[in-house]
Amino acid sequence: MVIKSSNKIEIPITELEQSAFCQDGSNYRTRTLEEEFKSGVRWQKIPTRYLKLSPEEIQDSIAEIKNSLKNRIVVLGHHYQREDVIKYSDIQGDSFLLSKLASEMQNSEIIIFCGVHFMAETAEILSNDNQKVILPNMAAGCSMADMASFTQVKESWVQLTSQLQSKSVKKPIIPITYMNSTASIKAHCGKNDGIVCTSSNAYKAFDWAFKKGEKILFLPDQHLGRNTAYDYGIKEEEISIWDPYVPNGGLSDLQLSNSKVILWKGHCSVHTRFTVQQIESAKIKFPDVNILVHPECTNEVVSMADFVGSTEYIKNTIDNAPAKSKWAIGTEINLVKRLANTNKDKNIFCLDDMICPCSTMYRVHPAYLLWVLEGLVAGYVINQIKVEEEVKDYAKIALQRMLDL
């Protein structure tokens, strides 16, 4: 039996909710759902019995249920999850690694993805027909992914392709979507000779695209797109930003003609918090500090960093760093705190003094995990992620092109 949530996924994602959980680091803890709801969050409704449960009360129940379900389930935990959720995961990683590993777990009937909606969708696309993917809280979306709706992208694509008619053998424009996008956007790329990329293989995706086409439309993160374009040797005047809320993306015919890379106007609310001033402050405090940031940060920040890379790259860099080295990291706080706890021989801290978790990832509270697990014991599949077959087929094409790189 499948229970489909009546809650709409289209919940407005704002940075106001993120600020509700920003702390100075002195008392960073998971509270009961009842307490967290008082912050004004708009999370999926859940039976009232879960509201007052503390993480400590939840722990024994989750352990007991996981043991009873044994190999029927696998719990995936994204690196940005809070510690009180990640400790229940069987495997940790970034979005694509987890989805890829999930697709290889043919014996697991249920994949519980403790991440956000686009990640669970990708796991559903790559899993087999006998597997079911569950997202504990259906309100756990992604503010960046929400900045590129399918309707907006489809309309913009029609404008772009009609204006960029090419007499060349190459296609006038190739779409590339970052992994942090909805299944429908991935499918759009698959259907239009495009590709999906991660933050670690975006350069290869650019290379692949420029062999096929004259220009690139990069969705939905302008900062990863810009940083990759600069690495690829694209000049500033050959990069433009497409704003879907203004006619023609806000670009003149000349700007479109001169652009080799057209960036969708989207960003990550976590990674754009990091600033040049924070880097300067860290270097004043620790002159020998290493600055390590994610490529979703602005180019000003990336240009000043000593190391730049994906979530997995950041983790591996810290794990392999020499003892007593100092690291100021520009990425989500849960990962930074976990790296600091597992690398106590190094001085590791977040670039931003005000600790702000990814507000959408934060929506996966341990109570939601317990809820879906207890549903399985009772014979119910709560919050199953389903992707339409046509969308799944085209999205898989775009993902496969990335794997083939």
- Report the pLDDT value the prediction gives residue 295, as an integer from 0 to 100: 97
Res 5 pLDDT > 60: no
How confident is the model at residue 206, as a pLDDT? 98
* DSSP-derived secondary structure for 127-188: S-TT-EEE-S-TT---HHHHTS-HHHHHHHHHHHHHH----SSSEEEEEEEESSS-HHHHHH
Looking at residues 45-57, what average pLDDT do you find?
92
The domain segmentation of the chain, as residue ranges, is 2-16+31-142+359-389, 148-266, 271-350
Q: Which of 194, 187, 254, 200 is nearest to 218 (CA)?
A: 194
For the domain made up of 271-350, give the CATH fold: Rossmann fold (3.40.50)
30 versus 51: which is more confidently predicted? 51
Query: 26 pLDDT exceeds 70?
Result: no
Q: Tell me the percentage of the chain whose pLDDT exceeds 70.
A: 92
Tokens of 200: 């670690």
Q: Helix, strand, or coil here: 13?
A: coil
Strand-pairing partners, residue 93, are 78
Give the confidence band of 23 by pLDDT, cuts at 50, 70, 90: low
Question: Which of the four pLDDT bands, split at 50, 70 and 90, describes residue 356?
Answer: low
Q: What is the pLDDT of residues 74-99, one digit of tens each?
A: 999 999 999 999 999 999 998 878 87
Of 27-36, 111-120, 192-201, minimum mean pLDDT range: 27-36
Lowest mean pLDDT, pick from 18-22, 38-42, 44-48, 53-57: 18-22
Q: Is 13's pLDDT higher than 50?
A: no
Q: Dihedrals φ, ψ of 166, to 5°? A: -120, 140
Q: Which CATH superfamily is domain 2-16+31-142+359-389 in?
A: NadA-like (3.40.50.10800)
Beta bridge partners of 348: 327
Local confidence band at 355 (pLDDT 50, 70, 90 cut-offs): low
Count other C-beta atoms under 10 Å from residue 13's C-beta: 20
Of 187 and 357, more confident: 187
Q: In sequence order, which ranges of 259-384 are alpha helices (DSSP H)?
A: 276-285, 299-304, 311-319, 333-342, 366-377
Lowest mean per-residue pLDDT among 19-23, 105-109, 186-190, 298-302: 19-23
Kindly report, residue by residue over 257-278, the tens digit of the pLDDT: 999 999 999 999 899 999 999 9
**What pLDDT is recorded for position 109?**
92
Query: Do the two domains 148-266 and 271-350 of this chain adopt the same fold?
Result: yes
pLDDT at 400 over 50: yes
Task: Return phi, psi of residue 226, to 5°.
Answer: -65, -45
With a CB cutoff of 8 Å and minimum separation 6, the contacts of 320 are none
**Coil, helix or strand at residue 380:** coil
Helices 389-404/183-191 angle, 10° precision: 70
* Per-residue pLDDT at 323: 98
- The more confidently predicted of residues 170 and 330 is 330
pLDDT of residue 167: 72
Residues 187/150, Cβ–Cβ less than 8 Å: no
Model confidence at 46: pLDDT above 70? yes
Q: 135 vs 364, 365, 382, 390, CA distance in Å?
A: 9, 11, 8, 21
Compute the mean pLDDT over every residue in the chain, rounded to the nearest whole number: 90
The pLDDT assigned to 359 comes to: 79
Over range 168-195, report the average pLDDT: 95
Query: Of 183, 245, 249, nearest to 217 (Cα)?
Result: 249
Helix (H, G, I), strand (E, B) or coil at 276: helix
In CATH terms, the fold of domain 148-266 is Rossmann fold (3.40.50)
Q: Which parts of 214-362 fold into alpha helices (H)? A: 222-232, 253-258, 276-285, 299-304, 311-319, 333-342
Q: Which two tokens stand for residue 152?
A: 């907006």
